[in-house]
């Protein structure tokens, strides 16, 4: 068997179509916290991506968000469970999110039938990443004790100016933010209140414009924070404040071993391992988007979808090479015992590498809205080591010359298989069967049915 | 009329298991379920037939599994709740669950809920066991089914007030917390509308054989379990808080039985007074 990666760019492009679609539906805000516009700039962010690397209570949270807008207009406010100091905050490498995304993305695999009259075999997979991300914000600050707001820390990291605030009253915090020129979404005070009561601090980031080179594309890098807390959760409530409609969030959870699952919502596997017609290769983005939406609606819009769960030392088929120990460390994996990080990785293989990295990835895709996800996401690490991936299979029929008795049988089998794949796609996506059938490149046309009476009188 | 409520309980638990597998996207491995069932029934046979025979106790048949219903209920409960990767983990959980009935007795009454004991042993001693609190979701249809089925069984065995006190205490504590924190009502409802919470309240915390005999004792006991579960869940962020709370407070049962003595629960009315004491002695229990 030969594995080859193929169709990367087109698939990436089609997946970007997903992102665009997702982004256009809601005038969305950030996942964990909210973006705060200082001027009423157009807010536009795509599917949010988060990495949570966790071992015991130790956590490294990486937040990336696609923010496209004026940099000076933005600020990010995120509740954090502990008081963070300067050395706990770091600016990450955006490529790591891309690497994780590519490694764990739902994948399309192609197999090519051999000539049934002379057996041989060749197959090749291609892969599919999902949304991309960047990060953004801006702030203006001064404190007012009378409002009960304390600036616990103030520092700059990379292109960001960071404030760590604690507050006694949500109304005080809201007033403080307004006085300091942050445009707070309405209803913020109500949602800030529970976090203050639980002694959360507020991580406020804005862009330090002096650090940004005006000549370069303004891709904001992900913000990372390392902390120790028994809370294994992701605050999503603030991010819903001025969003109308569904928001997409992709969470990469990295642990030493075993899957992570959501404890206060169901964790459901995305439909996988199904045969799809060949035309899906050109429409994989649309297919995945439609299938996700259908599954989301069928699950009553209140579940987290598992898209990938795998030991990070290997993959089968590989959508992208497994991350090197150095890359894993950049993703926040702090427990790797062996890796100094520079050693070249073994080529991806369908077999587990003994002694390889002790890291396990769970990729969850949550599409959430205020009414179906009232609570923040809570997670737990489990001992579950059953691997799972979103995998869709195209089986190309043999289209060359066939001259043997097995050919008829083969054509019939292919016809059935193509019909089956078409039906599956129609069911999974909600597309009409007629439309799907019309796009299938049938190996044989269906023979017109012979009217039953013809044999009676002829 | 069924012989005893255990048959009803077995039917309901089996129904939930089928529903979970078919509609809730659980990927249970059949061989692990079989191991759970076999280890429960096997240990029941060892502790109730084999060992008594070796000790030459009269009236024990080596080829029978006395109170197989109870062992099966424990096995089904474990199938519903416990997840693991290996046969050894499941065998340990099933075996420990049933063995706990013989090992931890006070005045001939065991005080650990067997399935709960098996879960805790697996969580503590193996690296691969886990419980999925989110596995049922919050859909009303399931909750109503649980309440209906649980209500039937509990009315039958006369222990419904245990569930009621547990749920009321838990809901009350959550309400106070939600109010203090200022969360909206939908957050509160979402917390309470958990299928796993209801199943625990209706089918685990109510086991008539291991909980206090007297009604007052059960009130205190159920409220204490709810309080500890709430504390572990909300202050210590333990996702399996309910099971740990029940485990930690189970040894309270003998104490409460001393404070408020009352007649022991029996699954079946003794057929004759003469045989009753020896029969009841160590008779199988529900989960």
Residue pair B102/B43 in contact (Cβ under 8 Å)? The answer is no
Tell me how far CA of residue A165 lies from CA of A38, A78, A226, A446, B279, in angstroms: 18, 10, 17, 69, 67
Please indicate whether, in this complex, the C-beta atoms of A265 and B133 are within 8 angstroms of each other.
no
pLDDT, residue A66, reads 65
Alpha-carbon distance of B68 to B66, in angstroms, equals 5
Identify the burial level of A366 via C-beta atoms within 10 angstroms of its C-beta, where 0-12 means exposed, 13-18 middle and 19 or more buried.
Answer: buried
Residues in chain A: 458
Contact of B183 with chain A, judged by CB distance below 8 Å, is answered with yes
Please indicate whether, in this complex, the C-beta atoms of B137 and A194 are within 8 angstroms of each other.
no
Distance from CA of A249 to the nearest CA of B (A): 19
Please indicate whether, in this complex, the C-beta atoms of B24 and A266 are within 8 angstroms of each other.
yes
Distance from CA of B193 to the nearest CA of A (A): 10
Partners of B85 on chain A (C-beta within 8 Å) are: 383-386
Partner B, chain A 226-285, Cβ-Cβ below 8 Å: 230-232, 258, 261-269
The per-residue pLDDT for range B117-152, each reduced to its tens digit, is 999 999 999 999 999 999 988 887 778 888 888 887
**SS3 (DSSP) at B61:** coil
Please indicate whether, in this complex, the C-beta atoms of A193 and B180 are within 8 angstroms of each other.
no
Q: Which of B102, B11, B104 is nearest to B50 (CA)?
A: B102
Compare CB distances from A383 to B25, B127, B236 and report the shortest one's residue. B127
What residue of A is the nearest CA neighbor of B182? A194
pLDDT, residue A26, reads 29
The per-residue pLDDT for range B188-221, each reduced to its tens digit, is 999 998 888 988 998 888 888 889 988 899 999 9
The per-residue pLDDT for range A58-81, each reduced to its tens digit, is 999 999 866 667 777 777 888 999
Please indicate whether, in this complex, the C-beta atoms of B184 and A374 are within 8 angstroms of each other.
yes
Distance from CA of B179 to the nearest CA of A (A): 9
Tell me: ipTM over 0.90. Answer: no
Distance from CA of B116 to the nearest CA of A (A): 18
Residue A453's contacts (CB-CB under 8 Å, 6 or more residues apart) are none
| Per-residue three-class SS string for chain A | CCCCCCCHHHHHHHHHHHHHHHHHCCCCCCCCCEEEECCCCCCCECCEEEEEEEECCEEEEEEECCECCCHHHEEEEEEECCCCCHHHEEECCHHHHHHHHHHHCCEEEEEECCCCCCCCCEEEEECCCCCCCCCCCCCCCCCCHHHCEEEEEEEEECCEEEEEEEECCHHHHHHHHHHCCCECCCCHHHHHHHHHHCCCEEEEEEECHHHCCCCCCCCCCCEEEEEECCCCEECCCHHHCCCCCCEEEEEEEEECCCCEEECCCEEEECCCCEECCHHHHCCHHHHHHHHHHHHHHHCCCCEEEEEEEEECCCCCCCCCCCCCHHHHHHCCCCCCCCCCCCCCCCCCCCCCCCCCCCCEEEEEEEEECCCCCCCCEEEEECCCCCCEECEEEEEECCCCCCCCCHHHHHHHHHHHHHHHHHHHHHHHHCCCHHHHHHHCCCCCCCCCCCCCCHHHHC
The per-residue pLDDT for range B65-122, each reduced to its tens digit, is 888 999 999 999 999 999 999 999 999 999 999 999 999 988 888 899 999 999 999 9
CA dihedral sign of residues B43, B46, B49, B51: negative
Please indicate whether, in this complex, the C-beta atoms of A371 and B126 are within 8 angstroms of each other.
no
Please indicate whether, in this complex, the C-beta atoms of B137 and A380 are within 8 angstroms of each other.
no
pLDDT, residue A65, reads 65
Q: How many CB pairs under 8 A join A and B?
A: 82
Distance from CA of B201 to the nearest CA of A (A): 17
Tokens of A293: 């939406």
Give every residue of chain A whose pLDDT is below 70, as ranges: 1-46, 65-68, 119-145, 213-218, 242-244, 337-356, 446-448, 458
Please indicate whether, in this complex, the C-beta atoms of B85 and A198 are within 8 angstroms of each other.
no
Q: The pTM is what?
A: 0.84
The per-residue pLDDT for range B16-68, each reduced to its tens digit, is 999 888 888 787 889 999 999 999 999 999 998 899 989 888 888 888 888 89
Q: Which of A306, A283, A246 is nearest to A429 (CA)?
A: A283
pLDDT, residue A271, reads 93
Partner B, chain A 420-449, Cβ-Cβ below 8 Å: none
Contact of B181 with chain A, judged by CB distance below 8 Å, is answered with yes
pLDDT, residue A46, reads 56
Best probe of the A interface among B123, B138, B187, by most A CBs < 10 A, is B138
Please indicate whether, in this complex, the C-beta atoms of A384 and B191 are within 8 angstroms of each other.
no
- Report the percentage of chain B scoring pLDDT > 70: 92
Tokens of A183: 């445009």
Partners of B88 on chain A (C-beta within 8 Å) are: none
Contact of B27 with chain A, judged by CB distance below 8 Å, is answered with yes
Q: Which of A254, A300, A281 is nearest to A110 (CA)?
A: A281
pLDDT, residue A352, reads 52
Query: Would you state the torsion angle of the CA atoms of residues A314, A316, A319, A324, taken in this order, to the nearest 10 degrees?
Result: 10
Residue pair A192/A131 in contact (Cβ under 8 Å)? The answer is no
């Amino acid at each position: 068997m030969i594995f080859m990666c193929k169709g990367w760019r087109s698939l990436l492009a089609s997946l970007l179509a997903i992102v665009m679609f997702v982004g256009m539906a809601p005038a969305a805000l950030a996942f964990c916290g909210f973006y705060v516009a200082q001027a009423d700039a157009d807010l536009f962010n795509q599917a949010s991506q988060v990495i949570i690397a966790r071992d015991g209570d130790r956590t490294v949270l990486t937040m990336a968000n696609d923010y496209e807008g004026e940099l000076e207009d933005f600020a990010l406010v995120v509740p954090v469970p502990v008081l963070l100091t300067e050395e706990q905050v770091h600016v990450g490498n955006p490529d790591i999110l891309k690497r994780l995304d590519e490694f764990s993305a739902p994948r399309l695999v192609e197999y090519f039938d051999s000539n049934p009259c002379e057996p041989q075999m060749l197959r090749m997979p291609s892969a599919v990443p999902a949304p991309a991300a960047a990060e953004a914000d801006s702030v203006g600050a001064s404190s007012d004790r009378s409002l009960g707001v304390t600036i616990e820390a103030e520092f700059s990291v990379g292109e960001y100016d960071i404030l760590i605030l604690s507050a006694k009253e949500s109304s005080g915090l809201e007033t403080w933010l307004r006085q300091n020129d942050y445009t707070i979404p309405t209803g913020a005070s109500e949602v800030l209140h529970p976090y203050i009561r639980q002694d959360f601090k507020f991580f406020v980031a804005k862009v330090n414009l002096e650090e940004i080179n005006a000549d370069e594309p303004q891709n904001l890098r992900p913000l990372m924070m390392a902390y120790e807390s028994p809370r294994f959760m992701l605050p999503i409530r603030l991010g819903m404040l001025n969003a109308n409609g569904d928001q997409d969030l992709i969470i990469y959870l990295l642990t030493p071993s075993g899957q992570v699952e959501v404890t206060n919502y169901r964790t459901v596997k995305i439909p996988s391992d199904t045969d799809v017609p060949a035309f899906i290769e050109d429409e994989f983005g649309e297919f995945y988007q439609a299938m996700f939406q259908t599954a989301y609606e069928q699950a009553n819009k209140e579940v987290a979808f598992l898209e990938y769960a795998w030991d990070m030392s290997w993959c089968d088929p590989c959508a992208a090479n497994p991350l090197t120990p150095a890359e894993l460390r950049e993703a926040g994996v702090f427990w790797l015992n062996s890796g100094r990080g520079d050693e070249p990785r073994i080529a991806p293989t369908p077999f587990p590498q003994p002694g390889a990295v002790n890291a396990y990835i769970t990729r969850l895709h949550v599409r959430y809205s205020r009414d179906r996800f009232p609570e923040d996401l809570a997670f737990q690490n489990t001992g579950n080591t059953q691997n799972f991936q979103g995998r869709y299979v195209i089986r190309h029929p043999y289209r060359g010359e066939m001259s043997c008795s097995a050919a008829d049988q083969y054509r019939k089998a292919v016809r059935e298989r193509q019909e089956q794949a078409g039906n599956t796609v129609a069911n999974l996506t909600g597309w009409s069967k007629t439309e799907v059938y019309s796009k299938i490149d049938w190996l044989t046309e269906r023979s017109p049915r012979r009217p039953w009476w013809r044999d009676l009188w002829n | 009329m069924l012989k005893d409520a255990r048959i009803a309980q077995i039917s309901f638990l089996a129904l939930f298991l089928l529903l979970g597998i078919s509609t809730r996207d659980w990927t249970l491995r059949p061989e692990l379920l079989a191991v759970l069932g076999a280890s429960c029934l096997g240990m029941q046979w060892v502790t109730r037939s084999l060992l008594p025979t070796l000790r030459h106790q009269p009236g024990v048949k080596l080829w029978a599994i006395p109170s197989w219903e109870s062992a099966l209920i424990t096995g089904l409960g474990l199938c519903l709740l416990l997840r693991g990767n290996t046969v050894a983990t499941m065998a340990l959980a099933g075996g420990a669950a049933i063995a706990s009935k013989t090992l931890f007795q006070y005045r001939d009454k065991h005080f650990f809920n067997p399935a709960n004991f098996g879960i805790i042993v697996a969580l503590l001693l193996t690296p691969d066991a886990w419980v999925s609190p989110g596995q049922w979701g919050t859909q009303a249809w399931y909750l109503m089914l649980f309440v209906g089925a649980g209500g039937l069984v509990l009315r039958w065995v006369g222990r419904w007030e245990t569930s009621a006190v547990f749920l009321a205490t838990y809901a009350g504590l959550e309400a106070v917390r939600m109010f203090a924190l200022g969360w909206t009502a939908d957050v509160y409802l979402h917390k309470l509308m958990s299928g796993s919470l209801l199943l625990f309240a209706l089918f685990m915390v109510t086991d008539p054989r291991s909980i206090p005999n007297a009604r007052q004792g059960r009130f205190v006991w159920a409220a204490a379990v709810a309080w500890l579960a709430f504390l572990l869940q909300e202050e210590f962020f333990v996702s399996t808080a309910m099971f740990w709370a029940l485990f930690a407070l189970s040894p309270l049962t003998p104490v409460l039985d001393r404070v408020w003595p009352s007649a022991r629960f029996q699954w079946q009315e003794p057929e004759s007074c003469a045989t009753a004491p020896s029969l009841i002695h160590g008779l199988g229990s529900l989960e």
